Amino acid sequence: MRIISIANQKGGVAKTTTSINLGTCLTEFGKKVLLIDMDPQAHTTIGLGIEPNELERTMLNVLEPNRSPNKLNMEDIVIQMTKFSDGNLYVAPSNIDFASAEYKLIDQIGREDFLNIGIQNCKIKFDYVIIDCPPSLGILTINALKASHEVIIPIQPHYFALRGIEEFMETIKIVHQNLHHFLEIFVLVTIADTRSNIAKEVIEETRDFFKERVFKTIIRKNISLVEASSQGIPIIYYNPKSHGAEDYSELAQEVISFEKEEVSTRLY
Ligand SMILES: Nc1ncnc2c1ncn2[C@@H]1O[C@H](COP(=O)(O)OP(=O)(O)O)[C@@H](O)[C@H]1O
Ligand SMILES: [Mg+2]
């Protein structure tokens, strides 16, 4: 089981779009995938056509303190997306109530490990678990990082894009030092206007710094991706011929290729 967080404390860099569409594209290659929505804004949940306010069971139940009567196992809250992907796609949904997980965890022993334990105890086994993180470096993101082997950092190629992830890289180092948890880092360039010179420069700079840890696949700016998420449909179903569908499908293949190939660059 590969567990991958999609994280960056900056909002609007396509964390959610990447979670939904990488997750769905992986199922096209026969993988069984769980998408975990760790953001109280519930955009992954909504982006799959689920109405968050009608949910009785969410990720909040999984992260409840151990003695809480509301505590549930992961397999009790996941929804199998039978509309898509031959039933190989599952989502662990969220809604605005999930915001309270943050303070419920504050006084818990081992609070960084609640998600990790939730995933490890899940009775359904998956090939991939993709975790969509909130745009912050709080305890929810730390839980996601601690549960993951790998983290994909989406960046939009603007000036200062790299400076923006310095703080995030610091967090990854602290997770290593203080929680003794090592993460493989990957960077994904998203929402790229590949004709713009700024984008070209930033992509080059990103490759200089992160080397082979930057995915070869670049996610081009594509309006179909915006439409698809507003319709609650993954891009490969909404518009399979779009650049968005092409790019995310290529990304899924690249992610799968790392099942065999090791990446040697150590970043920290
Ligand atoms: N490749 C893309 N081209 C154009 N718009 C995109 C692309 N990827 C994402 N978007 C749009 O950008 C906005 C932010 O994306 P989102 O995935 O919600 O980011 P985050 O989860 O990091 O906040 C959304 O409106 C989304 O539809
Ligand atoms: Mg998001």
Closest-lying ligand to the alpha carbon of 247? 1
Considering the domain boundaries, does residue 265 fall inside one? no
Pocket test for ligand 1, best of 6, 10, 17, 188 (most atoms within 8 A of CB): 17
Containing H/E element for 36? strand 33-37
Write the pLDDT tens digit of every residue in 153-169. Answer: 999 999 888 888 999 99
Output the average pLDDT for the chain: 95
Letter string b/e over residues 36-52, b meaning 16 or more CB atoms within 10 A of that residue's CB: bbbbbbbbbbbbbebeb
Pull the structure tokens for residue 31: 């993988």
Ligand 1 atom showing the smallest separation from residue 19 Cα:
17
Overall average pLDDT of the 47-60 stretch: 96
Query: Higher-confidence residue: 155 or 268?
Result: 155
Pull the structure tokens for residue 248: 């995310």
If you compute the radius of gyration of the chain from its CA atoms, what whole number of angstroms results?
17
Overall average pLDDT of the 205-215 stretch: 94
State the total domains in the chain: 1
Domain ranges, residue 42: 2-257
Domain of 243: which CATH number? 3.40.50.300
Considering the domain boundaries, does residue 268 fall inside one? no
Q: What single-letter DSSP state applies at residue 155?
A: E
- Residue 161: predicted pLDDT: 86
Considering the domain boundaries, does residue 191 fall inside one? yes
Write the pLDDT tens digit of every residue in 23-47. Answer: 999 999 999 999 999 999 999 999 9
Considering the domain boundaries, does residue 106 fall inside one? yes
Position 256: which residue type? Answer: I
Considering the domain boundaries, does residue 267 fall inside one? no
Q: How distant, in Å, are the alpha carbons of 66, 75, 156, 208 from that of 46? A: 28, 20, 23, 36
- Residue 48: predicted pLDDT: 96
Alpha helices per DSSP H over the chain: 15-28, 43-47, 59-63, 74-77, 101-105, 114-120, 139-147, 161-164, 166-179, 197-210, 223-231, 235-238, 243-257
Assess whether the C-beta atom of 213 lies below 6 angstroms from ligand 1.
no
Assess whether the C-beta atom of 11 lies below 6 angstroms from ligand 1.
yes
Assess whether the C-beta atom of 41 lies below 6 angstroms from ligand 1.
no
pTM attached to this predicted model: 0.97
Write the pLDDT tens digit of every residue in 77-90. Answer: 999 998 887 899 99
Assess whether the C-beta atom of 87 lies below 6 angstroms from ligand 1.
no
Assess whether the C-beta atom of 16 lies below 6 angstroms from ligand 1.
yes
β-pairing, 89-92 with 79-80? antiparallel
Considering the domain boundaries, does residue 262 fall inside one? no
Assess whether the C-beta atom of 229 lies below 6 angstroms from ligand 1.
yes
